[in-house]
Structure 1
Amino acid sequence: MTITLRVNGRPVTASVPARMTLADFVRDRLRLTGTHLGCGQGLCGCCNVLLDERSVRACLLLAVQADGKDVVTVEGISAATDFDDHSSIAGCLVRHHALQCGFCTPGFVVLLAELLAEVDRGARPAPAELRTRLAGCLCRCTGYAPILAAAEELVAAKIVECSR
């Protein structure tokens, strides 16, 4: 099947097998390997991407289901690419020691980018809601406390920025 979509702002047209997952498509065909494959069953969240601004598990979605849509992978989240910028998602995760093995990090970065975009549109998530939203990505190393601390800081800073 032939699909046409935008990936990280770039138009892409490709022929794909009907049963190819979006995760396999972005990793194998587009060489965007930041989207990690963990469980392959949609449980771990390592393969999170944004599809038309909403997070989805790329291992559960077929590439053909993304036809005509906008896909953003962790590589497309520009704030996540600069670990030296302490105001970025990645910089905040580093500052809070929320990265250990790093395997789950792309999934969390995508979820955090989605949350920050929602704050831009007026959402004001409470800490309990942050916990619930981030629970969809499994981390086997950090114990979640540093990830939640980074999320709370990022959301609070974004709320302040939006209120100016």
Structure 2
Amino acid sequence: MADIAPDDTALRTMRTALEEGMTAGAFGLSSGLIYPPAVFSTTDELTAVAEALGGTGLYVTHMRDEGEALLDAIDEALRIGATAGRTHLSHLKATHADNWGKMRPALDKIHQARSTGHDVVQDVYPYTTSSSRPPPATATKAGPSPSSPQPPTPNRWTR
């Protein structure tokens, strides 16, 4: 798990795996861009993989940001989803009170995409926080070391 860009061979492997999954009955591609290791994926990488869906699949995402960069995260999700075919934004919200005013522009972006024929849906839950706390990207930037496995510990990430 590290911030390493995939080469053409790796992208072909990912696309082939997605195509095989679709043949086996999968609906599309999902991402959790707020969580490692997907946090290292770029928009271009995900768009290239989503091309394997041929515009007839579903892209489901926990977006890259739900706070300060919420609107950029929606743009990214819509771009990838337009390539896939359909888009589902998981748990749409603006975290932290400073960002609550971004929900109207966020919904406007979704409505604009729909007006062009992009099939976009989202789900929400009735609270403004989340129940998981991903580790900071710096905690996984170098990737795991095969010579120093991490033993299970109940409090690996502390506040």
TM-score after normalising by structure 1:
0.30
